[in-house]
Structure 1
Amino acid sequence: MTGLDILYVEDDARLAEEVARLMADDGHRLSWTDRGEEGLKRAASAAFDVVILDRMLPDLSGIEIVRRLREAGVAAPVLMLSALGRAENRTEGLDAGVDDYMAKPFDPPELSARVRALHRRAAGLAHSAVILFGDLECHVKARTAHRGGRHIPLSPKEFTLFRYFMENAGEVVTREMLLRNVWNLSFDPQTNVIDVNVGRLRRKLEEGFDTPVLETIWGTGYRLVAG
């Protein structure tokens, strides 16, 4: 992935500097403003690959910004950062048109991963007829999975899970991301549903092969790696 053009609207200058360094290290170009109105103006007048919005700004809230952007037909993917991380806060943001929502404080590598994932989805890469990664194939329309040319039979939920991992291949996928994007939940039901389904998917993808493809990142989530 080539460097992205990112707009960051954040009134905390110290945090903005940290995110700017993080994005620069990833090869991205970041435009920053600490004012909501200015952020809205820039987002509406320039083509950014990703917009990162603070929720609470002194002049215009991030929620209001994304609402106005969507009303104006601006489709740039929006990632909202906020100290308000309760389920109802996330739901409000997503309903307003936010594509992803992270609570502060956040893990820098996860922020980088989410920015890349947002761009891939917005660019349509995740909606290709076939998604390829290593020796894995995800046939989106046929809803089939293959490894090394071998068909891997999956249940409907396992395929949805597999496709999400393929859309985010090589990146750490958190349990929160799985709950929201695979199970459509904005809260943690405190069950082992993720572990059970990931375990089943891992066994099906790795049975009969010498190399693993699904890693557990302890305390965080999982990562699909090339076999």
Structure 2
Amino acid sequence: MTAHILVVEGEEKLARFIELELRYEGYRVSLAPAGTTGIAAVREIQVDLIIWDWSLPDLLGLEICRHFQSSGSKTQIILLSSIHDVSACITGLDAGADDYVVKPFKIEELLARVRARLRRNQADVNSYILQFEDLSLNRRTWEVYRGKRLIELTAKEFELLEYLLSHPRQVIPRSEILQQIWGYDFLGDSNIIEVYIRYLRLKLEVNDEKRLIHTVRGVGYVLRQESLKQLASEKFANLH
């Protein structure tokens, strides 16, 4: 998916120049001429990277960096500044900026910084997205997809599926699942795992999608592809 970049820059000509260069590189770009409009844009659209002018009169770049840092946001921020000073750069980075570019700059340098930041973004995304076949789970947004179909899960269903996705192709004993998902002191229904596995299968196989969660009799469960032998036996069973 094409990265979406927000440019918050008060100098109109510079903002337009940056926008054109970014669009030429294939990025989607939104512009905001002031800090308040930049904040509004962040609330309305999802962006992968923000290029923010340090010295906007209504909202300093340092303030927005501190805000994002305190809120736990993972959005990458590149500060643009006309201050040629090492201490200013350190202050900006300490405030939460991910990079610091001094004006005037060569556009090639800014584009290189953008590419580096977006690579870091992708590395972060890979750490919280679990995927197996056409099934994906996002640990940050709590979204689960089978292909393009969004699947709504309860908290416990999500937790169980997350554990299975964290151990693909591994046979996980019932005792381990019970311990990890329900805890040592669980005193409920002894068939609770079977019940929740059934819930997951019903939601994951709505459109006759192939089964991914398999039972290993007498042991536990495994997340894996269906074998040709299984597919053949199922087809044979359907004929009789």
Task: Give the TM-score category using the shorter length.
Answer: 0.5 to 0.7
Report the secondary structure of 2:104's partner residue.
coil
Task: Quote how far apart the aligned CAs of 1:126 are.
Answer: 11
> Unaligned 5+ residue runs, structure 1?
129-227
Code of the aligned partner of 1:50: L
Say whether 1:6 aligns with 2:14.
no
* Residue 65 (structure 1) aligns with: 64
* Residue 50 (structure 1) aligns with: 49
- Change in 2 beyond 3 A, CA 1:126/1:60: closer
CA distance in 2, matches of 1:126, 1:73: 15
Q: Deviations over 1:37-58 (max 9, x none)?
A: 1212322443211100000002
* Residue 115 (structure 1) aligns with: 114
Report the secondary structure of 1:58's partner residue.
coil
Say whether 1:76 aligns with 2:75.
yes
- Change in 2 beyond 3 A, CA 1:71/1:125: closer
Report the secondary structure of 2:47's partner residue.
coil
Task: Quote how far apart the aligned CAs of 1:122 are.
Answer: 1.8
- Change in 2 beyond 3 A, CA 1:105/1:63: same
Report the secondary structure of 2:116's partner residue.
helix
* Residue 85 (structure 2) aligns with: 86
Report the secondary structure of 2:55's partner residue.
coil
CA distance in 1, matches of 2:32, 2:87: 27
User: TM-score, normalised on structure 1?
Assistant: 0.53
Q: Does the 8 Å contact 2:9/2:15 carry over to 1?
A: yes
* Residue 131 (structure 1) aligns with: none
* Residue 191 (structure 2) aligns with: none
Identity %: 36
After superposition, the CA RMSD in angstroms is 1.9
Larger relative CO (CA 8 A, sep 6+): 1 or 2?
1
> Unaligned 5+ residue runs, structure 2?
128-240
Q: Deviations over 1:11-36 (max 9, x none)?
A: 00000010011001101111111110
CA distance in 2, matches of 1:111, 1:29: 16
Code of the aligned partner of 1:83: S
- Change in 2 beyond 3 A, CA 1:120/1:36: same
Structure holding more helix per residue: 2
CA distance in 2, matches of 1:87, 1:126: 31
